[in-house]
Amino acid sequence: MASPKTVTIPESFNYIGIFLTFRCPYHCSYCINQYGSGIHLDYPEISGTDWVNFFRRLPVNDIPVTLQGGEPGLHPNFFSIVRDTLEFHAVDILTNLAFDLDRFIGEIDPARINRPAPYAPVRVSYHPEQFSLPVITKKILRLMNAGFRIGLYGVTHPDQLILMEEAEKTCKTLGIDFRLKPFLGRHHGELHGRYTHPDACDGKPPRACECATSELLAAPDGSIHRCHTFCYRHLQPIASIYDPQIALTDDFIPCNLFGQCNPCDIKVKNNRFQQFGHVATRIQNIHPL
Ligand code: SF4
Ligand code: SF4
């Protein structure tokens, strides 16, 4: 029997981001999970069965469940979460491939996860501070040869632009789908990225505002947060995946943390159709506390 669809998501929502774990074997200096102050990523992790049961309750739509982290492949039930969810819902994975590739190839059917979206469902991040291009391209080619649609994403960090150019050329030669994502955050005091409200990330004393969001973001313990800042700071969630009924809203809700926002919530980016101009939040009525 089909599971009751007890989670409702507004039409305007564009993304379902599931942070399976915040653990990661790497320590990138620009990790967006660590942006700003007050970060507390020490969440307990729930079982794969609980995640899959929650995904069964999601409405039927074209928004994939995006498994991310940290490195989602470090969750002890990663492979069964991907395999079981693909039985009924599209899955995307944001990863650095720090997991058992043999197991992934053995347990996941590429025909199930591949789909005709304008981007690959498995999106690998390239972090030259942490691992070399030959190491990551070898892993990617292995998955491509096994039939998986997979892309490599570099970051336009000001210190790594030459490395990114080299990566682009190498990937072209190898037939790997390489794309660049804008670097978000501060470098030598300058905020990089394109934002609707650059002062939302200025780190100055917080101001009040009203903020409407368009993403379902769930932390490793199953708590659901209104934005990345609330998730990364372990602040009051708006719901839990264990709630029997979940109705998310895209209404404006007061927030007293304007100025402490995470760039991910304010940046102008592509939506899931790869159309540029989408922003996860709408913010209005900014005023002193
Ligand atoms: S690989 Fe990703 S999650 Fe891990 S430290 Fe680097 S940016 Fe952060
Ligand atoms: S104003 Fe910033 S911190 Fe507050 S909900 Fe919106 S994105 Fe999150």
Are 109 and 86 in contact by the 8 Å Cβ rule? The answer is: yes
For residue 100, give the DSSP letter: -
Q: In terms of pLDDT, which residue wins out, 273 or 4? A: 4
Q: How high is the mean pLDDT of the chain?
A: 94
Please indicate, yes or no, if residue 273 is contained in any of the structural domains.
no
pLDDT at 227 over 70: yes
96 lines ligand 1 (CB under 6 A): yes
Listed residue (183, 148, 159, 157) closest to 269, CA to CA: 183
Please indicate, yes or no, if residue 46 is contained in any of the structural domains.
yes
Please indicate, yes or no, if residue 176 is contained in any of the structural domains.
yes
281 lines ligand 2 (CB under 6 A): yes
**Best mutation site among 201, 265, 284, 289 for ligand 2 pocket (most ligand atoms within 8 Å of CB):** 265
Please indicate, yes or no, if residue 67 is contained in any of the structural domains.
yes
Are 74 and 23 in contact by the 8 Å Cβ rule? The answer is: yes
Q: How far is the CA of 228 from the centre of ligand 2 (A)?
A: 8
Please indicate, yes or no, if residue 174 is contained in any of the structural domains.
yes
Q: How far is CA 283 from CA 195, 200, 227, 253, 256, in A?
A: 12, 9, 12, 9, 12
Following CA atoms 88, 63, 36, 182 in sequence, which dihedral angle do they give, to the nearest 10 degrees?
Answer: 120
Please indicate, yes or no, if residue 182 is contained in any of the structural domains.
yes
Count of the separate structural domains present in the chain: 1
Secondary structure of residue 132 in the 3-state scheme: coil
Which residue range is the domain that position 132 belongs to? 7-190+215-250
Rg, Å, the chain Cα set: 19
Please indicate, yes or no, if residue 101 is contained in any of the structural domains.
yes
- Least confident span in 77-81, 203-207, 218-222, 266-270: 266-270
pLDDT at 2 over 80: no
Confidence class for position 246, pLDDT limits 50, 70, 90: very high
Please indicate, yes or no, if residue 148 is contained in any of the structural domains.
yes
Confidence class for position 1, pLDDT limits 50, 70, 90: low
Confidence class for position 3, pLDDT limits 50, 70, 90: confident
Kindly report, residue by residue over 84-127, the tens digit of the pLDDT.
999 999 999 999 999 999 999 999 999 999 999 999 999 999 99
pLDDT at 273 over 80: no
Kindly report, residue by residue over 183-205, the tens digit of the pLDDT.
888 888 888 888 889 899 988 99
131 lines ligand 1 (CB under 6 A): no
Q: What is the pLDDT at residue 190?
A: 85
| H or E segment to which residue 207 belongs | strand 207-213
Following CA atoms 77, 111, 116, 134 in sequence, which dihedral angle do they give, to the nearest 10 degrees?
Answer: 70
Please give the share of the chain, as a percent, with pLDDT higher than 70.
99
Helices and strands in the chain, H and E counts: 8, 18
> Any idea what the CATH number is for the domain that residue 146 is in?
3.20.20.70
238 lines ligand 2 (CB under 6 A): no
pLDDT at 270 over 80: no
Task: Note the pTM of the prediction, 2 decimals.
Answer: 0.96
